[in-house]
Structure 1
Amino acid sequence: MSETLSAGPTEHSERVHALDALRGFALVGVFISNSLSSFNGRMFLPREQALALAAPPLEAAVNSLFGLLIDQKFVTLFTILFGLGFALQMTRAEAKGTSIVPMYRRRLTVLFGIGLVHMFGVWVGDILATYAVVGFMLLPFRKLSDKAVLIWAAVLLFAFPITFTVGQRVLPAVLHGAAEAERAQKATRDEEAAHRAELLAGLSSDSVVTTQLANVRFGWAGMNNPNRPLLLSIVLGRFLLGLWAGRRGLIQDVERHRKLLRRLAAWGLGVGSVIGLIVMVLNLVYRGVASPPGWLAWLRTPRDVGYLFMGTGYAAGFALLFQKERWRKVLGVFEPAGRMALTCYLMQSVMGLCVYDGWGLGLIAHTPPSRTVLYCAVLFAGQLAFCHWWLARFRFGPVEWLWRSLTYGRAQSMRRVSTSAAGAAGVAH
């Protein structure tokens, strides 16, 4: 029997509960981010209309707090946790004397397939296919030292983005002249605006077929996104940070790393907040300006650094709080969602379409930030209740069951076995 088939899914007794709870917590921010930027249609609106939705004082305050505390921070956290999960899988495989590579490749292949179905069949904003592709890139780093992993993470998260941004901004002007470069950039912006307008029209339709065809066209056009190398670099860098954290056991053994986690929480939240406040102030200053200065584009890398610091600070702070009995009872409510993260992520896309698309409640392009956040809170509370109910009866979430079954080449046992039943089976044997 192959190593892939001889492996098995992680049992409940082997799970790191703090990690599951943290993953569930990250899903809250991911849902709010996706809803405020994508599901409610704001990112597809012309700039003036998008600004009008957040014009009233309450909406401006909610929008600013979203930018400071949530936007991209939880996505960053979720990405880091993927790399940490890889480190756990690798450690467990080594403890069993097997290679992680065959199982991991098959696992990523299945995830890539799920991501493509999600992207073209449900929602164009899929991240799963990207995670799968970058996951394959993660394999060569598994045997590197911790120091080498951190160096590569720094290169991918800082050096490459800066080089890429400089090249993207400077090289066209050097090669073709400033005027020609500006015309090319304007043509690209106009083309992107046309694609966004076409998608928004499709999403506003009361026909599911029209909506999904618009989704497919937008997704196919996005395949040529010139920023894709930058995205892949940042995702891989975050994976490597998660790999390093998983090797060190930062989440698995908090007590041993309490001092380091405190520093990570303080520096992460501190630096992330400072950068976030600077970006927030600049956004407010240039909010009503029809043509913001071009130098604002150079803030992309510092802004990404802020996301990284804040996401790291959230992870470290959460891990520390989870060790306190009182806080563990509160934060542990997210654990079932973390164990069903893939199911929850896909459910959020379906719920977002049902609430905002024209064939659903038709709220797209009409929902201000405060109402969007309220909808997210209500829907996620329903998700949590569903996850608690489901895992009281089954071992995996439904999509997790499919993922595991395809990965291990056999249908996994879905029903939970009670302690008494398991004991009776043991006596019978």
Structure 2
Amino acid sequence: MTKISNQPTVQKDRITNLDTVRGFATLGILGMNALYFGMLKPAYNNVNAPGTDNVLDWIFAIAGEIFIDQKTMAIFSMLFGAGIVLFADRAEMKGKKPVRLSLWRNLLLVAIGFFHSLLWEGDILIVYGLCAPVLLCVRKKSQRFLVSTGCLLFSLTIIFGVFTQLSVNDGNAYLGDFWSGSEAMGDEVTTWFIFDVFCRALGAMLIGVAMFRSGFISGILSIDVYKKAAKWGFSLGIPLVTFGVIIQAIMDYDSNIAILGQLPNTAGTIPLAIGYISLIALWDRKPVSSFKVRIRSVGQMALTNYLSQTIIGVLLFSTVFDKGDLGRSGIFLFMICVWAVQIFWSKPWLAYFRFGPIEWAWRCMTYRKIQNLRR
């Protein structure tokens, strides 16, 4: 009888482009989460909220809306979808039960997310873990089905957002701290908010599965494909997102446009995410450099780095600073410092160890066996 290996993916089997994309996404997600760590809640959605006090703050606010907000989460979600398929495919090739093993693995991810949410309410791991069963059910569907369903989910949250805004304007729903209040969001806005997070996450994951099946997200297609995809993605995405930013400014950031003003950003998210992935794939083909290796290392330790961002942020803004002490330019400086730490430490760690510490623990629990950590 053939002996089935319980060993996880080794270095030589890694798809380096996925690590590179994941590295940039890990650093980029801090651009969204840092606002949540260090500023009052309305600042996350409303660029005119307290904390945008000078020209530099406004530059960071507008740039963040156009180039970072929602896009890094979309890329992360695409990578997660690709990762689900990659894990299941490799488990199947090794003669294991891919669905059972993957469900167990993602149940563990939900548990990690639960403990993470006790530290910080902005956790996304629970959402990802809960979406995994859907991905496993449709992972062998056609690429057309996956992309169409993903786009449909984005469309549904946009439509729901329109009706929620109308309800707000009629006085039947309460925005609360989504926009400018100090109280929690009303039930209807909260329902849309949760629906929006799940739709955008699952929609991008489904598109990510299709991108993996086509080889796009693995970086193995022709250079012309990525050049055209980058051109198409930025040409469509940036005008859509910018339109939303302009509309909000024209309306003087009125609550009557609070949700509607976010929707062009949602519509432009997938094209821009594809544009970013295309540029990274083109860059990843260039000769290996020390910086590229460091970015890949950040990506290989994405879960550890994601959680460590929270630990650093929560500790800093509960001991040294209070929420709201720093403006957007101060938050940007914090983000640069965390980036520097993670770019610096990830490569040396992986020079001695095969996995990041959280990745190692997750793998041990997944395979129910202590994995070799040292190289």
- The secondary structure found in structure 2 opposite 1:392 is helix
Q: Which whole-Å CA distance do the structure 2 matches of 1:166 and 1:71 have between them?
A: 19
Instruction: Choose which of 372, 384, 387 in structure 1 pairs with 2:343.
Output: 384
What whole-Å deviation, never above 9, does each CA across 1:291-333 have from its counterpart, x for those lacking one? 44x355334433202122111110111001110116x554332
1:324 aligns with 2:320: no
Amino acid at match of 1:249: G
Instruction: Choose which of 176, 194, 197 in structure 2 pairs with 1:228.
Output: 194
Q: Which whole-Å CA distance do the structure 2 matches of 1:410 and 1:331 have between them?
A: 32
User: Residues 131-280 of structure 1: matches in 2 within 5 Å?
Assistant: 131-158=128-155, 160-168=156-164, 182-186=170-174, 189=176, 193-195=181-183, 225-254=191-220, 256-280=221-245
1:286 aligns with 2:251: yes
Q: Look up the match of 2:122.
A: 125
Amino acid at match of 1:61: I
Amino acid at match of 1:17: T
CA contact (8 A) 1:43 1:50 kept: no
Q: How much is the aligned-residue C-alpha RMSD, in angstroms?
A: 3.0
- The secondary structure found in structure 2 opposite 1:301 is helix
Instruction: Choose which of 317, 334, 351 in structure 2 pairs with 1:356.
Output: 317
Structure number with bigger Rg: 1
Q: Which whole-Å CA distance do the structure 1 matches of 2:49 and 2:38 have between them?
A: 14
Displacement of 1:99 in angstroms is 3.4
TM-score by structure 1 length?
0.79
Going from structure 1 to structure 2, the CA distance change for 1:49 and 1:106 (only over 3 Å counts) comes to closer
1:65 aligns with 2:63: yes
Q: Which whole-Å CA distance do the structure 1 matches of 2:9 and 2:51 have between them?
A: 45
Instruction: Choose which of 294, 309, 324 in structure 2 pairs with 1:365.
Output: 324
Q: Give 5+ residue unaligned stretches, structure 2.
A: none
Q: Which whole-Å CA distance do the structure 2 matches of 1:85 and 1:379 have between them?
A: 26
What whole-Å deviation, never above 9, does each CA across 1:57-80 have from its counterpart, x for those lacking one? 122112111212112211111111
Displacement of 1:226 in angstroms is 4.2
Displacement of 1:34 in angstroms is 0.7
- The secondary structure found in structure 1 opposite 2:323 is coil
What whole-Å deviation, never above 9, does each CA across 1:154-174 have from its counterpart, x for those lacking one? 22222x22442355456x6xx
Displacement of 1:257 in angstroms is 3.4
Going from structure 1 to structure 2, the CA distance change for 1:54 and 1:191 (only over 3 Å counts) comes to closer
Going from structure 1 to structure 2, the CA distance change for 1:45 and 1:306 (only over 3 Å counts) comes to closer
Q: Which whole-Å CA distance do the structure 2 matches of 1:142 and 1:48 have between them?
A: 37
Q: Which whole-Å CA distance do the structure 2 matches of 1:253 and 1:67 have between them?
A: 27
Displacement of 1:241 in angstroms is 0.8
CA contact (8 A) 2:352 2:374 kept: yes
Q: Look up the match of 1:77.
A: 75
What whole-Å deviation, never above 9, does each CA across 1:112-149 have from its counterpart, x for those lacking one? 000000001x1111000110001122111012122222
What whole-Å deviation, never above 9, does each CA across 1:81-112 have from its counterpart, x for those lacking one? 11111222233234334431111001101000
Going from structure 1 to structure 2, the CA distance change for 1:68 and 1:335 (only over 3 Å counts) comes to same
Q: Which whole-Å CA distance do the structure 2 matches of 1:44 and 1:131 have between them?
A: 24
Q: Look up the match of 2:352.
A: 393
CA contact (8 A) 2:294 2:344 kept: no
CA contact (8 A) 1:150 1:240 kept: yes
Instruction: Choose which of 271, 276, 287 in structure 2 pairs with 1:309.
Output: 271
CA contact (8 A) 1:83 1:239 kept: yes
CA contact (8 A) 1:21 1:333 kept: no
CA contact (8 A) 1:42 1:50 kept: no
Q: Which whole-Å CA distance do the structure 2 matches of 1:183 and 1:222 have between them?
A: 11
Going from structure 1 to structure 2, the CA distance change for 1:414 and 1:133 (only over 3 Å counts) comes to same
CA contact (8 A) 2:31 2:335 kept: yes
CA contact (8 A) 1:250 1:257 kept: no
The sequence identity of aligned pairs, in percent, is: 27
Going from structure 1 to structure 2, the CA distance change for 1:45 and 1:322 (only over 3 Å counts) comes to closer
CA contact (8 A) 2:177 2:184 kept: no
1:337 aligns with 2:298: yes
TM-score by structure 2 length?
0.89
Going from structure 1 to structure 2, the CA distance change for 1:80 and 1:190 (only over 3 Å counts) comes to closer
Q: Which whole-Å CA distance do the structure 1 matches of 2:46 and 2:281 have between them?
A: 41
Higher helix share: 1
- The secondary structure found in structure 1 opposite 2:170 is helix
